[in-house]
Structure 1
Amino acid sequence: MTWIHFLLFAVFFSCTTGNDNSFSEESAVEVTLKPEVTYQEIHNFGASDAWSCQFVGNWPDEIKNRIADLLFSLEINEDGSPKGIGLSCWRFNIGAGSARQGNDSGIDDPWRRAESFLQDDDSYNWDKQSAQRWFLQAAEERGVETFIGFVNSPPVALTKNGKAHSDGGNSMNLTAENLPKFSEYLVEVIQNIQQNEGVLFDYLSPVNEPQWDWEGGQEGSPWKNSEIAQLCQILGNDLKNAGLSTQIEITEAGQLNHLYEAGNDAERGNQIREFFSPTSDNFVGDIPNMAHKIAGHSYFTTTNDEVLKEVRTKLRKEIEQVDPELEFSMSEFCILGDNDGFRGNGRDLGMETALFVANVIHADLTIANASAWHWWLAVSPYDYKDGLVYIDKNKTGGDIYESKLLWALGNYSRFVRPGATRISAEYPETSDLKISAFQNKNGELVTVVLNRGNSGKELKLNLPGSSKTGRIYETSEQNDLKYLSEFKIRDEIQIAPRSVTTLVWNQP
């Protein structure tokens, strides 16, 4: 070969191997599944109706139904691909009433103000939050199984300062005398929603990110651990006396480390031990209607793989030490902070955000043993990495924009169904892939494969005694949770570069 021929060959080889569709020449990554080795039960994957659904629920039927289908549908298109991502949990924001205060609310963005059923004269207006209630019904009609009512701030009619945000400090924006009224209000909301929408909240989350001072920007209130315990005592008995099965879910910690360490405030940290150790003054484990789980948000703990592993390992170990039966629910996440240069600013409909979030989901499920995983805004009007479906910021109508993140979450939510169990998936730690496996209650096996690299990979599944045929679904630059083909166990399966791939089949 002359040097000219050699140069041309080298250029050609460089171009082809750099192509996003190229596959690594390394030997196939072999994954051994062991359904007999089990971990946590997976209850659901979800998202919240804040803040946009208060307007989008009044948009033209065709558009809002399209959004509801994308979020909740379990139907299959003619090509075998899912119509939507089949969320199995929907979070309903029980608003505090800043919307009726307008500019006097201290919340500049009208989209972050919310209505409230409780009025200033202590009467109830059940016509409020009607657009959100539309989405509640849409979720129920499309098969969503779990519903959570969550509270950012007590109603302004009850707060200390008459606002839906705090004047500062680490204490609740509520007088102790109004704790029973707040509890009574929450019970009334649950009963009315059940009566009118036919939806009973499975869980009620009465406080949200109590570690922050919430001095403005959106509805919110700080809470000390002792105040949360006092509220739960009242609320648990009120739910029981009302004959409701709704369980209380706490504490929606603003960062996962607040669950196992003091963080920035000892009175608002160490929440696993504070609430679920019988030796704690704030123990709530024996309160009626108290869910035996702790909820936290993965914000600011996702800088890189090292941080992901460190934080979630500490979380899991704290639960094992305090109460091994206690569940952990990852109840809210979007991109916040600086993640080794990857930031929340700027809407991204592409794979970069989808891959980043899939990596967080994998860590939360496989290291922290999360039993549920919830995204923040199901529908976002913002130029930010906070939405599944994006919309024009228009209160009466507009266009919608699907994100790759929507479909990447669907690789989990559509196929890992409520009651599934995470099972062992053994593969080389040196592999660039990240793999998790689950078994649904109907015996179906699900394996989710994350490839953040620029080269495709070959994958082999090892499940002794199985010759079953399965189905492959892919989210990538080219595909939105698309059904690709059938496969057989021990086939070499091609995992595309920068993709999330789900393999589904029945156990023999």
Structure 2
Amino acid sequence: MVLKSFVKKSVIAGVTIWLSMFSAVAQIKQLTLSINPGKTYQTIDNFGASDAWACQFVGNWPDDKKNKIADLLFSDENYADGSPKGIGLSMWRFNVGAGSAEQGKASGIRDEWRRAESFLDADDTYNWNKQAGQVWFLKAAKKRKVPQFLGFTNSPPVKYTINGKAYANRGKINIAPEHYADFASYLARVIQGVEKISKVKFNYISPVNEPQWDWSDGGQEGCPYTNAEIAGLVKAIDKTFIAGNVHSKIIIGEAGSINYLFTKGDKPGKGYQINDFFKAASPGYLGNLPSVAPAITAHSYFTTSPMTASVKARKALADSVDKISGLTFWQSEYCILGDNAGEINGSHRDLGIDAALYMASVIHTDLTVANASAWQWWTAISAYDYKDGLIYIDKNKTDGNFYTSKMLWVLGNYSRFIKPGAKRIDVSLSKADLKKPLLISAYKNKRGLAVVIVNQNSEDMDITLDTNDGKIKFTTSYTTSATDGLKAATIAKSAVVVKARSVMTLSGKFK
């Protein structure tokens, strides 16, 4: 039985404490946390979120409100008590629209909030006044020192699609090969044009999104691809970028589920993406192209429950990535969807700690088992009744109220304190019989040390902090709970109390 193999181990990769869910709950008064900074794992590239779909409207809201929202997402500043004003995202994903918004109802996309403008007009001219609300958020992120930006497309521009729509027909690719070069030229122009109007340069371009899905229902912009079709398109983009001296790196994958990276999957020609794109012997090999980033990306949907299955899949993913020298894995989109083995349902907003704790377990497992170098949430701002937003808004194009969720602050427990270039390091906890495991990971970076502790239990945990013979000094804790959002507290002694059902980040430094 798979579970027994976890019960026998107190530590997986020196990070996660997996204990029997069937043992009696011991009333643990004190645990000891130890850190081994000499044992390192992956380097972190970024934590991010995307501007789809609401930023096209919220970017035109009154200045005071949209600036407060931008502060929540991007700011690295603190209030007087030391608590953060925002979660300090290090990556912002910009939806490069296909032009369904200009088509209106004729687009076939029923919900206008899921349509998007395009900078390219029907007469082959470019209008850089388009996507103005989204461009405002680009500028706001740049002003607040967000270091990385990515432009992603859900569909090629409608001018180049086979059916003239921003969604496909019967699950088939919606762009003919003769238009690959046109699509590539369009992306190059968008990179250059957006930089001119916003001073933001896209570090990355992601031209394909969830290529395994059919995208034929008119629910949003979308385009399916086989791996061979992706290879053809990416080769055209690489050629265009080199010729045009465009230095943005192409991100490959964006698989609808992590399983498509290392298994055949249920879609012919759309699985085994790691080998197809990054194994040198593959006909679709792209790893040698100068414009291609050495990263494979996928979305954690439909693979997060139950925990035993989640861990097994992520271990297989990490093993597959490790076989390709220099390759990293990015978890590039997630929100809570579906039933999740009965653990939590993705329907209906949850501004509270329940959804946030589930989110924390996904982040933790992606980072510590799959060795993700990046972790990116789906939509930063949501107008819908799903567990898909960090910030929720009234569905109003010109003004309205906004509401923060605990999911925002839980992501901040990672994004605010673990910056690009940080390395995950080894951490362990003294043995204990707990109803649910404490999920712990640690990172060292230029700012020093960050340790994130996820306590899913209904009891507080007293934790003694091993200072490694005085070489580590913990200074501040930041707690997200049912009542707090990254609330700061000074660590006076080498011990902390981790509140029940909370996420705490410990900040410190090496002496």
CA RMSD of aligned residues (A): 1.3
Aligned equivalent of 1:503: 506
Aligned equivalent of 2:455: 451
Kept in 1, the 8 Å contact 2:31–2:432? The answer is no
Matches within 5 A, 1:68-467: 68-169=70-171, 171-215=172-216, 216-321=218-323, 323-341=324-342, 342-427=344-429, 428=431, 431=434, 432-442=437-447, 444-466=448-470
Report the Cα distance in structure 2 between the residues aligned to 1:145 and 1:430, rounded to whole angstroms.
42
Report the Cα distance in structure 1 between the residues aligned to 2:91 and 2:492, rounded to whole angstroms.
30
Alpha-carbon displacement from aligned partner over 1:171-203 (angstroms, at most 9, x marks no partner): 420011111000000000000011111111000
1:373 offset after TM fit, Å? 0.4
474 and 69 in structure 1: CA distance in 2 versus 1, 3 angstrom threshold = same
1:27 offset after TM fit, Å? 4.1
Aligned equivalent of 1:3: none
Could you tell which deviates more after superposition, 456-465 or 38-47? 456-465
Kept in 2, the 8 Å contact 1:96–1:114? The answer is yes
1:24 offset after TM fit, Å? 7.4
Q: Where do 4+ consecutive residues of structure 1 move more than 3 Å?
A: 428-431
Alpha-carbon displacement from aligned partner over 1:341-392 (angstroms, at most 9, x marks no partner): 2111100000001000000000000000000000001000001100001000
SS class of match (1:401)? strand
Paired letter, 1:453: N
Kept in 2, the 8 Å contact 1:24–1:457? The answer is no
Aligned equivalent of 1:11: none
Q: Please list every run of 5 or more consecutive structure 2 residues that lacks an aligned counterpart in the other structure.
A: 1-24
Report the Cα distance in structure 2 between the residues aligned to 1:320 and 1:209, rounded to whole angstroms.
23
SS class of match (1:468)? strand
SS class of match (1:458)? strand
1:478 offset after TM fit, Å? 1.6
Task: Indicate the percent of aligned positions where both proteins have the same amino acid.
Answer: 50
Paired letter, 1:313: K
Aligned equivalent of 1:482: 487
Report the Cα distance in structure 1 between the residues aligned to 2:335 and 2:225, rounded to whole angstroms.
23
Aligned equivalent of 1:12: none
Paired letter, 2:489: L
Find the partner of 2:476 among 471, 475, 500: 471
Alpha-carbon displacement from aligned partner over 1:263-322 (angstroms, at most 9, x marks no partner): 11131110001000001000001112110010000000012211210110110111123x
Report the Cα distance in structure 2 between the residues aligned to 1:96 and 1:150, rounded to whole angstroms.
11
Report the Cα distance in structure 2 between the residues aligned to 1:116 and 1:196, rounded to whole angstroms.
15
Which protein has the larger Cα radius of gyration, Structure 1 or Structure 2? 1
Kept in 1, the 8 Å contact 2:128–2:197? The answer is no
Report the Cα distance in structure 1 between the residues aligned to 2:31 and 2:147, rounded to whole angstroms.
36
Paired letter, 1:308: S
Kept in 2, the 8 Å contact 1:232–1:287? The answer is no
Report the Cα distance in structure 1 between the residues aligned to 2:290 and 2:240, rounded to whole angstroms.
9
Find the partner of 1:64 among 63, 66, 77: 66
Alpha-carbon displacement from aligned partner over 1:79-102 (angstroms, at most 9, x marks no partner): 110000000100000000111111
Kept in 2, the 8 Å contact 1:34–1:463? The answer is no
Aligned equivalent of 2:51: 49
Paired letter, 1:506: K
SS class of match (2:160)? coil
Aligned equivalent of 1:13: none
Aligned equivalent of 2:3: none
SS class of match (2:219)? coil
Paired letter, 2:235: Q
TM-score (norm 1): 0.93
Report the Cα distance in structure 2 between the residues aligned to 1:251 and 1:304, rounded to whole angstroms.
25
Report the Cα distance in structure 1 between the residues aligned to 2:238 and 2:313, rounded to whole angstroms.
31
Could you tell which deviates more after superposition, 257-266 or 47-56? 257-266
SS class of match (1:502)? strand
Alpha-carbon displacement from aligned partner over 1:407-461 (angstroms, at most 9, x marks no partner): 111000001111100000112485521100000124x010000001111111122
Kept in 2, the 8 Å contact 1:48–1:90? The answer is yes
Paired letter, 1:409: L
Report the Cα distance in structure 2 between the residues aligned to 1:29 and 1:310, rounded to whole angstroms.
27
Q: For this pair of structures, how many residues does the alignment match?
A: 481
Q: Please list every run of 5 or more consecutive structure 1 residues that lacks an aligned counterpart in the other structure.
A: 1-22
Report the Cα distance in structure 2 between the residues aligned to 1:426 and 1:310, rounded to whole angstroms.
21
Kept in 2, the 8 Å contact 1:24–1:456? The answer is no
Kept in 1, the 8 Å contact 2:249–2:291? The answer is yes
